[in-house]
Amino acid sequence: MLRVTLLLLAVTAARARMNVLFLVADDMRPELSIFEGKDFPSPVHPPIHSPNLDALARKSLLLKRAHVQQAVCSPSRSSLLTGRRPDTTHVYDLQAYWRDVGGNFTTIPQYFKEHGYRTIGSGKIFHPGRASGYNDPISWTDPYFEVGKTVNKFVYKEQVTWLSVPMDLLKNNSLWDMQNTDYAINMIRKAAPQARSGERPFFIAQGFHKPHLPFVAPQMFFDLYPLSSISLPPNPYAPDKMPVIAWSNYSELREYVDIERLHVSGDINTTLPNDVILNLRRGYYSALSYTDYELGRVIQELENQGLANNTIISFWGDHGWQLGEHGEWCKHTDFDIATHAPMMVHMPGLTDKGIVTEELTEFVDLFPTLVEAAGLPPINLCPENSTDVLVCTEGTSLIPLIINPASPNWKKAVFSQYPRNEYNGDQMGYSMTTDHYRYTEWVKFNLQPVYKPDWTEVFGVELYDHYGDPQENKNLAYDSAFSSLVDQFSKQLHAGWRAALPK
């Protein structure tokens, strides 16, 4: 750790305070060429066209096994942006605002603002609306910018799941993410003079709405993925012996008119017609590549302004996404494919040659990482009850992984959760991922004012062997041969994330 600190001091002392470019994608799972291999278990997809993310990864700390704390937009974003887990933010849905239900917790952009940065946001950073007090105004020095949803009405006539936009329609019109990207580019230009002179660094956040449903993208990105190149998922059925409570009936997808017309139930071991699956997968890949294009425009402007060597760039997607694997769609589960998401951090002078780590990491780790990389006062670990603590973290700075990407002292388990409302009560699926396994208990959950699980009332248990079964097709929790391992993991899960922190 001392070597890391000395290296950071040497880098930061040699220049003015670094700027931060904070990039976010919505519903982007790590199905990128840079994640090929055991870190992404789906073997059937076309080569993904993401040249800008690939280039960023090659000069970043690439976190190949990063997991979100809850696989849905607002809880995941609230957790990452405050550095605290859902049982601390008390955000489990798309309505609750952590400042109302958890505490007046300082966010990442707010912390940089309080240390003299100009903080500018556009697109989807926080979950919009009341879940963030309407983009958390206290976090920004400049008025937050968000294009209204009506921007796509010139082409989007009804609520269907995917749409290829003819290029000629874009000559005099622009899509949602195009306009937000244009704004971010303009703000980089405006903030550049003060940033170059060292007078005032910036923290500019740009949130892309894609590849979230509906999969709307210009035709040129659909052209990258001919329908003949798209394959069906290899595992269209629910895991063997999966508890019913682990399932989501993907109501988010079924609300779109083209899916509603199919009268599908979303029940376990039902599926969509093959042609619908193939088109949805094609639409998702196209929207992902479109997002990569817009992201590339923002990074290019940073270079155009001569700020590339003095700007930290972070990128993350707010959670994974199910594209028909297990017959599931969307997020809303504890499956690895829903909690595993892309994350990378470029730190000039530290990661320029690219560093890849296979260590398990969590989204709550980003807040302390950016603070340390920028040379700001470090953030302390949160106490057990941090309701009245404005600034603290329940994550671990990733900086040590720059020096040793395979650190023997790193955390050996990461934690996610997902709520359910079944059996006339509230439940929580607490999930723990280790190097080898994912273990989950679905238990009774006591909501406000307690916000704690009752481990004695269990509705289902899951255990998946990621070495032999990376797609999580067979639940081993009810196999007597694994009973001792289940007992061991149960104790470890109940001990929680604090017991898994690096020593």
Report, as residue numbers or ranges, the catalytic residues.
73, 127
Q: Where are the beta strands (DSSP E) in 96-245?
A: 118-123, 162-165, 202-207, 215-218
Report how far residue 466's alpha carbon sits from residue 472's, in angstroms, rounded to the nearest whole number. 7
C-alpha separations of 412 from 38, 133, 316, 401, 502 in Å: 18, 36, 21, 14, 8
For residue 25, the cross-strand partners are 317
Backbone angles phi, psi at 68, to 5 degrees: -80, 165
Which of 319, 328, 165, 320 has its CA nearest to residue 253? 328
The set of residues, in sequence order, having a beta carbon less than 8 Å from that of 480 and lying 6+ positions away, is none
| Count of other CB atoms within 10 angstroms of residue 401 | 24
| Count of other CB atoms within 10 angstroms of residue 220 | 15
Report how far residue 61's alpha carbon sits from residue 33's, in angstroms, rounded to the nearest whole number. 16
Tokens of 63: 């976190």
Q: What one-letter code names the amino acid at 139?
A: S
Report how far residue 231's alpha carbon sits from residue 336's, in angstroms, rounded to the nearest whole number. 20
| Dihedral angle sign, alpha carbons of residues 493, 78, 460, 434 | negative
Report how far residue 225's alpha carbon sits from residue 293's, in angstroms, rounded to the nearest whole number. 15
Q: Are 482 and 463 in contact (CB under 8 A)?
A: yes
Crossing angle of helices 274-304/176-197, nearest 10°?
20
SS3 201: coil
Which of 114, 125, 123, 120 has its CA nearest to residue 141? 120
User: Look-up: residue for tokens 């609750």?
Assistant: 96
Report how far residue 183's alpha carbon sits from residue 177's, in angstroms, rounded to the nearest whole number. 10
Report how far residue 338's alpha carbon sits from residue 330's, in angstroms, rounded to the nearest whole number. 8
The set of residues, in sequence order, having a beta carbon less than 8 Å from that of 408 and lying 6+ positions away, is none
